[in-house]
Amino acid sequence: MARELEEARTIGADLERSSLDADVARIAAETAEAVCLAAREAVATCEQAEVDGNSAGRSPTSPSGEPPRPDEGERPAAALGGAGAPRIFRLLRGDRAAMADVVAEMAGDDPEDGRRWQVALTALVEAILADSIEASALEFPTEHPFWGLVTRTQGREVAGALASLGYRFDGLGGWVDDRIPTQRDLSLALAYAGLDPMRLRPFPSEGDMGDLWREVTVTADEHLAGAAGDLTLGELVTMLGKRADPLTELWNRWGRLRPLLLDES
């Protein structure tokens, strides 16, 4: 009995050490990731300052030689908060001309670089769209026999509830992996969203479920403006989470790329 107790204590101590080692490794990885992000942000800031300096010359100064300061309490508007259409919004809408412009600026006359930047920018657009869908940033057709019965906020809550049940919008009017919910699944999603299925008539039939997302669109521009309104590297990496990991090449040139994506010309 004493030997079994000693073995149990040894196993417990080993497990505790393993847990501590795992915590140390996790903290070290998180610290390294934070340091890497800070370094990339610093490089991006320097690179953009150089770009801004080359394109605009010296910024206007006050009589004392210092840059003008905003009024007390005034905060600058977010870069994506205006009424214009920056290139990043046009990219999210599939504007090929906008994509060609950014690729040409980043790659110059090098065809191989052009292909590389085309792939990288497409990956960025896809990541933002995927994040927008995951956040249920959707617009619903008001004339739709089902979606027209609920508000946009309610529709987004229903979409989120369906996703939590494993039935996800693919962004193209259909269901991911053709996994289509039943009427019961939709009723559950409505209940999760705080809606009474019995009050929504006409209720979609089983045959209607496959086309439930038809004419529903992704409001990726709205989602991006809300989650990363200044389009800084830190904002985007935070917003995209793990989806940001494959986009290292973009982050390394973010200081050059960001002004191009914000351009409204």
- The answer on pLDDT for 65 being more than 50 is no
For 127-168, what is each residue's pLDDT tens digit?
999 999 999 999 999 999 999 999 999 999 999 999 999 999
- The answer on pLDDT for 175 being more than 50 is yes
The conformation of residue 76, written as its DSSP 8-state character, comes to: P
CA distance 105 to 122: 15
The predicted structure's pLDDT at residue 95 = 96
Domain extents in the chain:
138-218
**Model-level pTM greater than 0.75?**
no
- The answer on pLDDT for 239 being more than 70 is yes
The predicted structure's pLDDT at residue 194 = 95
For 187-198, what is each residue's pLDDT tens digit?
999 999 999 999
The predicted structure's pLDDT at residue 83 = 61
* Least trusted range by pLDDT, from 34-43, 107-116, 185-194: 34-43
CA distance 184 to 205: 10
The predicted structure's pLDDT at residue 85 = 87
220, 92 in Cβ contact below 8 A? yes
Beta pairing partners, 21: none
CA distance 82 to 80: 6
DSSP string, 212-225: TTTT-EE-HHHHHH
